[in-house]
Each structure stands twice: as C-alpha cells, then as structure tokens.
Amino acid sequence: MTDTTREITLTVNGTERTFDVEPQTLLVHALRDELGYTGSKVGCESSLCGACTIHVDGRAVKSCTLLAVRYDGAEITTVEGLADGEDLHPLQQAFREEHGLQCGYCTPGMMLTALSLLEDNPDPTRSEIRDALKGNVCRCTGYHNIVDAVERAGELMAAGEPELSGAD
C-alpha cells in the first residue's frame, strides 16, 4: 500500500481477496483489472446499460459507477460464481438452451439481474421479467430469447436445480 492507495478486502464468489486500489478505482475495474473477474463488462460507464451488474451482499448492483473502497468487506458474486465447477447454474443452462445470448456482452449482467428477480419471485410473468430487465441493454437479441431463458431458469430452479453456490 502506498500513500495514494487503499487496502480493501472483498469476498468474491466465496474467496476472500485483499488488495490495494486507488481511491477512485471503480468496483468493476477492481474486479476485472485487479482480481481477473472479467465476466462483468464495462459498457456505458454511467449505470445505464447493465453490462457491469454483479451482486453485492446479495443485491444486484451496477458496478461501473461504484467506488471499490466503499465496498471494503463486501460479499460479491460475479457471473463466474454462478457455475459449480462444470455444473452450470440454472440461469446459465437456460440461457444456453433458449439461445438467450448472441455476442454475450450483456449476458453476465442479464443473468445476475435475473437471479435477483428469481430469488424474489420464483415464477414471474413475462411482463415482470421484462420489467426487471429494463435496466439491462442488449443490442443483439431483441430480448425475446432472454425472457424465454429467464422463464426457463425459473422452472429449472423450482425443479430443484442447484442454487447459487458462491464458489469459484
């Protein structure tokens, strides 16, 4: 640590990590550049597109405008934390089955936003899914397959597919 950096500790996908960041480092950049969790994308850098969505202490947040130092001690889940080894999370499985992605840039943020929805409402209507995803922009799919994927993930989760593990 130098006079211009701050030491912070984040628990990311179940693993505690302590590292130094500049006070102005955004959380998305700390995750990507300092810790190597590149699933969260940098899109608009203004919290409008949702590509940077992660879970912080169990809540979906857009990490591109949040200062990493403010989240010292937080528990974070990124898209990399959804799978349990080779076993896909129901959201990942559903996105694959329903072709809910094309270029994949928005997919991590879509999945983590959808996870929050499904944790709060395990059987949402298509309208509720669209409403929950309105803060996430996809320029490729037209959203129909994404909504199908979230609907399917809800079915898989209700059928007892593995829950979010929080592990790498």
Residue 84, Cβ density class (10 Å: 0-12 exposed, 13-18 middle, ≥19 buried): middle
Is 2's pLDDT higher than 70? Answer: no
The span from the CA of 48 to the CA of 91, in Å, is 22
pLDDT in tens, 89-114: 999 999 999 999 989 999 999 999 99
Is 163's pLDDT higher than 90? Answer: no
Tell me which DSSP letter residue 80 carries.
Answer: G
State the pLDDT confidence band at 162, using cuts at 50, 70 and 90.
low
Closest by Cα among 110, 86, 109 to 98? 110
- The pLDDT of residue 166: 44
State the pLDDT confidence band at 3, using cuts at 50, 70 and 90.
confident
Kindly list the distances between the CA atom of residue 15 and the CA atoms of 9, 73, 76, 108, 158, in Å, as whole numbers in the listed order: 10, 12, 9, 19, 28
- The pLDDT of residue 160: 84
Contact 60, 78 (CB under 8 A): no
Is 85's pLDDT higher than 50? Answer: yes
Cross-strand bridge partners of residue 12: 15, 76
pLDDT in tens, 8-32: 999 999 999 999 999 999 999 999 9
CA 141 to the chain's CA centroid: 19
Quote the mean pLDDT of the chain: 93
Question: Which residue matches tokens 């799919």?
Answer: 141
Helix, strand and coil percent figures for the chain, each rounded to 5 = 35, 15, 45
The DSSP H or E segment spanning 77 is: strand 75-77
- The pLDDT of residue 165: 42
State the pLDDT confidence band at 71, using cuts at 50, 70 and 90.
very high
Average pLDDT over residues 41-70: 96
The reported pTM is: 0.90
